[in-house]
Amino acid sequence: MTQLFKAIAIMIIVLAPTSWAAAQSDAPAQAEKTWSLVLHGGAGTISRDRITQEKDAEIRAKLTEALDAGSAVLKSGGSATDAIVATIMVLEDDPNFNAGKGAVFTWEGTNSLDSSIMDGATRNAGAAAGTSTTKNPILLARAVMENSRHVLLSGEGADQFSREQGLEQVDNSYFATPSRREALERFKLRQNAISALGGDQLAQDQLGRDWRFGTVGAVAVDNEGNIAAGTSTGGLTGKQWGRIGDSPIIGAGTYADNRSCGVSATGAGEYFIRVGVAHEICTRLRIAYETRPDFSETTTQDIADSVIAEMGDLGGSGGIIYATPWGQIGYSFDTPGMYRGMASSKGDKSVAIYGDEE
Ligand code: GLY
């Protein structure tokens, strides 16, 4: 018994300083609060020779403002959902982007908006397609997610739900801008010429490789490690017959899952729908993360790049932004440029436009 007591006493003496030291170092090492945010304002044939220096500066300032709006939410401990909504609203309110004010025109000369949002913690989601009076479509997507039993509402019904939710309504003319009207006129001239030659009803340059400006979106990871992703767009210039793109389609233009990543897409929506781009990236990433012993940050980028390449192989074009629960944020696009930006609790902050920028 004496021997046993001695042994225990010796163990206490030997281990005590170690345990104390561990306890001391554990205290400040409490889980560090981290957050990250990534946004896009559309991808396409965006190159230096197509944008004036003034427009370049204006776009960068607005991307920075949007990044700051979302970062402020995350810095103060707000949720990823609040952060992406704050980010996207700045872009929806700015006429430079094809979402909210400044959305492209339908063939009939109206503006028809699509939006979606997803919460990676619960995999709850909301979306609205073909709306015409809700000032900030991302708020409507959020209301569908949080206050309805549905995921996707469309057309007048979606706007009616929006009114019932008390969201700000505007006349459809609020969204119109002269430059988007000119783009519609140019599109109609080209489309009529294609039709006269017996061509496809949809001008191929809208669906294929010469595609310019689009959609806005954001993905955030908050201090709790929850991911949210959201996307908002006016769709394609001259769209007809109630055409809906990928942006309000959960899994195509938007996806979020705390087990893998959040994704928001921009590009030729038909191809993003066919590939299910956002879900495809998240699923491949989850499986790789769970099963591959060699998993690294390169794996994430490789997966994003290969899904974009597969979408491109079908004839589409565009890009995505992603954020993971382990703090990785990034982009993948096959176009000459993509309006984009990222910020995190590490102090990184950047915006970029052209493909050759970091
Ligand atoms: N990516 C936007 C759209 O195709 O509508």
Alpha-carbon distance of 256 to 119, in angstroms, equals 6
Mutating to test ligand 1, I would choose from 236, 317, 333 the residue with most ligand atoms within 8 A of its C-beta, which is 236
Q: Which residue type sits at 276?
A: G
Residue 215 falls in the annotated catalytic set: yes
Tell me, what's the pLDDT at 24? 33
What's the pLDDT tens digit per position in 208-261? 444 566 799 999 999 999 999 999 999 999 999 999 999 999 999 999 999 999
Best CA proximity match to 280, nearest among 301, 318, 298, 306: 306
β-strand pairing of 152-154 with 124-131: parallel
Tell me, what's the pLDDT at 289? 94
Tell me, what's the pLDDT at 276? 98
For ligand 1, say whether the CB of 248 is within 6 Å of any of its atoms.
no
Alpha-carbon distance of 255 to 266, in angstroms, equals 13
Tally of CB atoms within 10 A around 254: 33
What's the pLDDT tens digit per position in 92-112? 999 999 999 999 999 999 999
Residue 268 CA to ligand 1 center (angstroms) comes to 5
* Vertex 94 angle, CA 92 and 97, to 5°: 70
Alpha-carbon distance of 161 to 177, in angstroms, equals 26
For ligand 1, say whether the CB of 266 is within 6 Å of any of its atoms.
yes
Residue 235 alpha carbon, nearest atom of ligand 1: 5
Alpha-carbon distance of 184 to 128, in angstroms, equals 23
**Cβ-count burial of 342 within 10 angstroms (0-12 exposed, 13-18 middle, 19+ buried)?**
buried
Mutating to test ligand 1, I would choose from 105, 113, 247 the residue with most ligand atoms within 8 A of its C-beta, which is 247
Alpha-carbon distance of 167 to 163, in angstroms, equals 6
Helix, strand, or coil (residue 320): strand
For ligand 1, say whether the CB of 217 is within 6 Å of any of its atoms.
no
Residue 269 CA to ligand 1 center (angstroms) comes to 4
For ligand 1, say whether the CB of 215 is within 6 Å of any of its atoms.
yes
Q: Under 8 Å CB-to-CB from 356, ≥6 apart: which residues?
A: none
Length of the chain: 358
Tell me, what's the pLDDT at 211? 57
Q: Which residues share a beta bridge with 113?
A: 131
Mutating to test ligand 1, I would choose from 88, 112, 232, 272 the residue with most ligand atoms within 8 A of its C-beta, which is 272
Residues of the chain with pLDDT under 70: 1-32, 199-213
pTM: 0.89
Closest residue to atom 4 of ligand 1, CA basis: 269
Best CA proximity match to 133, nearest among 168, 88, 103: 168
Catalytic-labelled residue, pool 133, 215, 266, 335: 215
Catalogue the E-assigned strands of 28-120. Answer: 36-44, 113-119
Kind and range of the H or E run holding 332: strand 329-333
Residue 239 alpha carbon, nearest atom of ligand 1: 5
Tell me, what's the pLDDT at 200? 59
